A and B are shown apart, each in its own frame.
Chain A
Amino acid sequence: MHASGYEPWSAERAAQIIADHQHMAGAAMPILHAIQEAFGFVPDTVVPMIAETLNLSRAEVHGVVTFYHDFRREPPGRHVIKLCAAEACQSVGARALTAYAEDKLGLEMGETSPDGRVTLEPIYCLGLCACAPAGMVNGRLVGRLDTDAIDEIAAEASR
């Protein structure tokens, strides 16, 4: 899940990923997930490749990519911090904690730092509602967050 572990863009590799999944029923979503897992995002150049293979229009594939919050069209920061913004987390102070994290990282929710180091974004529920506030840091689940935990996460993201 760590961005530095992503592969550099390669059309050949993308074509291979598409070929590996094209036999699946309703293949578009599994292909997009696999592309993002490999490259960290879904580059615009891959859209016509998927469209051609699945016999869809570019507009249809573009429509799928842009409908789902998970799919990125730009690379994320090397560290990705997701903080839950849903009701259960709000009931135990997630709003204030999010403001603290924004201040600490110098970023607003949904932003990536200009140096590409860290992305901060909201997530709507990780099912960790009985150990809230919760979040996900570079793919790792974290619960019972407080300002100390945010300080540690920010320190991790400064590396």
Chain B
Amino acid sequence: MNSIRIYVPNDATAIACGADRVARALSEALAARGIAADIVRNGSRGLFWLEPLVEVETPAGRVGYGPVKASDVPSLLESGLLEGQPHALCVGLVEEIPYLKKQTRLTFARCGIIDPLSLDDYKAHGGYRGLAKAAEIGPAATVEEVFQSGLRGRGGAGFPTGIKWRTVAATPADQKYIVCNADEGDSGTFADRLIMEADPFCLIEGMTIAGLAVGATKGYVYCRSEYPLSLDVMNKAIEIARRAGLLGDNVMGSGYAFDMEMRMGAGAYVCGEETALLESLEGKRGVVRAKPPLPAIKGLFQRPTVINNLISLATVPVILDKGGAFYRDFGMGRSRGTMPIQLAGNIRFGGLFETAFGISLGELVNEIGGGTASGRPVKAVQAGGPLGAYMPVSQFDTPFDYEAFAAKDALIGHGGIVVFDDTVDMAHMARFAMEFCAHESCGKCTPCRIGSTRGKETLDKIMAGERREANLAILTDLCQTMKLGSLCALGGFTPYPVMSALTHFPEDFGAAPKLPMAAE
């Protein structure tokens, strides 16, 4: 069995850049030449500037070529693609690419390496060892292991996962639920998508462990409708897991029952907020609930519910497999473990970079990301999605850490970093933040529902030069009201991008530039 194996990624980025056409061209060209080869549709490694990244198995390891177009296939085959020979698109041994080699891949260890829907591949790369461990040590010790790992919510709020689990475990009920928040709506993020498309069993295993730990027998993954491929891969993986006895009445022969299903969102950003998500799962408008009661006590259908971000749940298997202490030893301060940082927007090397907390923003953008794609100077980055602050280059020494970002009125959120070059107009971006909030507000809190519309109008006046000082004062006051008077992060955090843009780039709002005035 020494047939040639070629890998062509099957994730949304690769497909959006033509991977299906490449796979078809390869298979036709190989057939025409009478060469027998397996074309494996793996997930992406997350080195998105190289997609579609075609890899071929060689005795030395997997050799990559990218970004490949269908029209490159004949020349690749002639140059000796099948033996991993040089070509203008050859990137050498994939594992040796510095971008990948510098990472600490714990949650994303298998992404891009395995066939996402092969249970054998998953198990051969450490899959289901975490669940076996959890079944062996039992629910209480499993919760404790997660607590000891220091894992915090990867959706942005950073709440300790172990405490949520303890609360649900300690709350008696006839039915408990595990809900996975896969409503990854932040622009500049794709970590959830990558797990679902490249390593779906990792999420299934993580949710199963959570179910076992807190006594929940049913799980839901709330996935956004903008991710059709993720939904498809997950549905297939769940079916495979069920047939293999890894979901159902007696999971892996452990005596514990757990099953799960996918649910699709419908284009509402606010449903990424946990209580709005629960309302939506119940079949209602995605309107935010007041807390308390906490979802851990009264969550989905009023039952105790663990609602965690997808990355939190997908990190649980490695924590159980290698131990909470192993995971806790990565990171800095109160930010333990690793974070999948997503480099996006106007950046040369866009992709997913999983690393221990503590790396500086500047290193991420300039050294790892290679600066802007346009080649122009970086002006600002938006960290943490549409509700995150715009950070200027002068803050690039900030370490990637929940508390260090918070100290600068910024947030790491779900780990997205969107880079902008010097052509960006920050007043436009501030206006967009208000416009987006107005578009997505669930309507529950007045400061968010009305304030975002008034904020957009006020910014229009400022940009038109109308009573600038007075309107800037109104905008600042309005932001303060939204911040203090909104139940959730949509209204509460929209002021971050607005105020950070204004604070760091006043010249874009027509205010006096920070430059010294030349003598006239």
Instruction: Report yes or no: A143 in contact with B17, Cβ–Cβ below 8 A.
Output: yes
CA distance A25 to B269 in the complex (A): 22
B333 at the binding interface (Cβ < 8 Å) = no
- Residues in A with CB closer than 8 Å to B374 are 92
Instruction: Report yes or no: A88 in contact with B51, Cβ–Cβ below 8 A.
Output: no
Q: Of A60, A91, A126, which one neighbours B419 at CB under 8 angstroms?
A: A91
Instruction: Name the distance in Å between B66's Cβ and chain A's nearest Cβ.
Output: 12
CA distance A57 to B254 in the complex (A): 44
Instruction: Name the distance in Å between B11's Cβ and chain A's nearest Cβ.
Output: 9
CA distance A86 to B186 in the complex (A): 9
Instruction: Report yes or no: B188 in contact with A141, Cβ–Cβ below 8 A.
Output: no
Instruction: Report yes or no: B187 in contact with A92, Cβ–Cβ below 8 A.
Output: no
A27 at the binding interface (Cβ < 8 Å) = yes
CA distance A91 to B237 in the complex (A): 35
Known pairs A86-B386, A129-B350, A142-B16; A26 contacts B190 (CB<8 A)? no
Chain B interface bracket (under 10, 10 to 19, 20 to 34, 35 or more): 35 or more
- Residues in B with CB closer than 8 Å to A86 are 187, 386, 436
Instruction: Report yes or no: B264 in contact with A129, Cβ–Cβ below 8 A.
Output: no
A70 at the binding interface (Cβ < 8 Å) = yes
Instruction: Report yes or no: A29 in contact with B263, Cβ–Cβ below 8 A.
Output: yes
A159 at the binding interface (Cβ < 8 Å) = no
B147 at the binding interface (Cβ < 8 Å) = no
- Residues in A with CB closer than 8 Å to B439 are 124
Chain A interface bracket (under 10, 10 to 19, 20 to 34, 35 or more): 35 or more
Instruction: Report yes or no: B350 in contact with A29, Cβ–Cβ below 8 A.
Output: no
Interface set, chain B 157-202, CB cutoff 8 A to A: 184-190, 192-193
Instruction: Report yes or no: B266 in contact with A32, Cβ–Cβ below 8 A.
Output: yes
Which segment, of B100-108, B135-143, B281-289, B306-314, faces chain A? B281-289
- Residues in A with CB closer than 8 Å to B424 are 91
- Residues in A with CB closer than 8 Å to B268 are 67-69
A28 at the binding interface (Cβ < 8 Å) = yes
CA distance A26 to B303 in the complex (A): 14
Known pairs A89-B187, A128-B12, A132-B344; A67 contacts B286 (CB<8 A)? yes
CA distance A141 to B416 in the complex (A): 21
CA distance A29 to B284 in the complex (A): 8
Q: Name B residues whose Cβ lies closer than 8 Å to a Cβ of A.
A: 12-13, 15-17, 48-49, 51, 184-190, 192-193, 225-229, 263-269, 280-287, 301, 342-347, 350-351, 373-374, 382, 386, 416, 418-421, 424, 429, 432, 436, 439-440, 442
15 residue pairs A–B, Cβ–Cβ below 8 Å: A30-B264, A64-B283, A67-B442, A69-B266, A70-B225, A87-B345, A91-B419, A123-B226, A124-B267, A127-B13, A127-B227, A128-B13, A131-B13, A131-B17, A136-B226
The 7 closest A-B pairs by CB, nearest first: A130-B350, A28-B283, A143-B16, A86-B187, A68-B266, A129-B344, A91-B345
